Amino acid sequence: MPFIKSLPEDAKLAELFKPRGTYYAPLLRFLENVMRGDSELTPGEREMIAGYVSALNGCRYCEGGHREAAVALGVEPAMFDALKGDIETAAVDDRLKPILNYARKLTKDPESVTQADADAIAAAGWSEATLSDVVNVCAIFNYFNRLVEGHGIVGIEAEFQARGALHAKAGYVAQYHDED
């Protein structure tokens, strides 16, 4: 049940954003750039990071939608459960493991991130721009997880696949904000 009484019981982010479209518009444009802009990381990989960060934060709403968006963009569904266990033994491309370790540390224990963590991403063949992309995906989903949880918006499992497919197909700005 949302903490804001004007929201419906089954509220989604769109219902939070629409009445304050101008307020949220810059955030949604930034989200669109982070998740769909130019990057060495594919949109599916960025959705995977978003779903993983959201799982670490216990945000079912974001975890479910972004897990399904990643799957719609070609990420294996079983990988998410494996990532919750151990990144090193998960069936994920070895190049992505330092990225996921970085996202985990930045989410769970941000002051513990070190130059060695950044160097591991570079050693896996990623550019400095990709490190910045990882930081931005991680940061914006830590923000969105708190936005969702702070407003009491609860994920409904039956809606995750449809929402994920919409994220994969349409991105973010169009579905959450009508341009004035």
pLDDT at 137: 98
Q: Give this prediction's pTM.
A: 0.91
Which pLDDT tens digits describe the chain residue by residue (180 residues)? Answer: 889 899 988 888 888 888 888 899 999 999 999 999 999 999 999 999 999 999 999 999 999 999 989 999 999 888 888 888 889 888 889 999 999 999 999 999 999 999 999 999 999 999 999 999 999 999 999 999 999 999 999 877 778 777 777 777 767 766 554 443
CATH of domain 13-172: 1.20.1290.10
Residue 46: which of 57, 55, 37, 56 has the closest Cα?
37
Domain boundaries in the chain?
A: 13-172
pLDDT at 100: 97
User: Residue 68, CB half-sphere, CA atoms under 13 Å: how many?
Assistant: 19
